[in-house]
A and B are shown apart, each in its own frame.
Chain A
Amino acid sequence: MPETLKIRVLVRPKRGILDPQGEAVRGALPALGFDGVKTVHVGRLIEMEVESADEVEAMCERLLANPTVEEYEWEVVR
């Protein structure tokens, strides 16, 4: 049986790009009494099981993230 790797990809809005969703969450936290929250960014977590990690970078570039507005990082989950 081929090996299975677990991959975790984190995608989030690029720095400097308006993130109205993050802003809305940041605005909501003090209303619940959570003070001192300076910034919030909302991103997306993608988990995959793959046979090889060779093409994960290409998957991120071509589909999982939109490099125009998003940045991503990924790791093999041990």
Chain B
Amino acid sequence: MNIGVTIFPGSNCDRDAMRAVELVGATPVQLWHADPDLKNVDAVIVPGGFSYGDYLRPGAIARFASVMGEVERFANAGGPVLGVCNGFQVLTEAHLLPGALLQNMNLRFVSKRVRVRVEARDTPWTAACESGEELMLPVAHNEGNYFADADTLARLEDESRVVLRYLENPNGSANDIAGVCNEARNVVGIMPHPERVSDDLLGSDEGLKILRSVLVGAGV
């Protein structure tokens, strides 16, 4: 399986994501922001970082990069897409996921490991997890405070589209939301960084469960 990793100016988790993709036995493919196509990949990861310097709003400029038009087409056709941190912000700006990520409630950049619970395992990015499984994953962000209007939040809960939920909320997110999926469930955005816990050398490899999931979903 080939998994594309998008790279914008200012992305900084793309190498880690590609390494983690290798560790789960898939082939990573670089997708440069100016690329006109997705090189026939089977899944796409939009990694973390500070695309375009977070100017205007995190993700606001990256969302119009030429590769993102292809990611939108791929997502709308049912292709598995995972946005991590800044990637989650990019996917909300692109309206592939509902809501927005506001500045952290306490106005501070938060960088630490947090416990999250897998609330939905019927997505391509959580299929290898147990339902209700708790994972310890790193977060590192200034704008991770998930916001959606009350109707949208109710709908996300009713449709079990909260994919990860914080057990200790680090940023003020509504309903302790750490990750959500789209209606078709193929597009997932999460603030925690699974690629940063992808090897025992990094203290844990729990994050590989997220990345391995896309292989399970594809029957690999």
Contact = CB atoms under 8 A, between A and B. Distances in A.
Do A and B pair up? The answer is yes
Interface string B38-76: 000000000000000000110010001000000000000
Contacts, number: 33
Interface in B90-134: 92-93, 99-100, 102-107
B32 interface: no
Residues of A in contact with B, size category: 10 to 19
A77 interface: no
B172 interface: yes
Interface string B141-161: 000010110000000000000
A19 B130 CA distance: 36
Interface of B, helix, strand, loop or mixed by DSSP: loop
Interface residues of B, number: 18
Interface of A: 17-18, 20-21, 24, 63-64, 66, 68-69
9 contacts: A18-B102, A18-B145, A20-B102, A20-B103, A20-B105, A63-B60, A68-B100, A69-B102, A69-B147
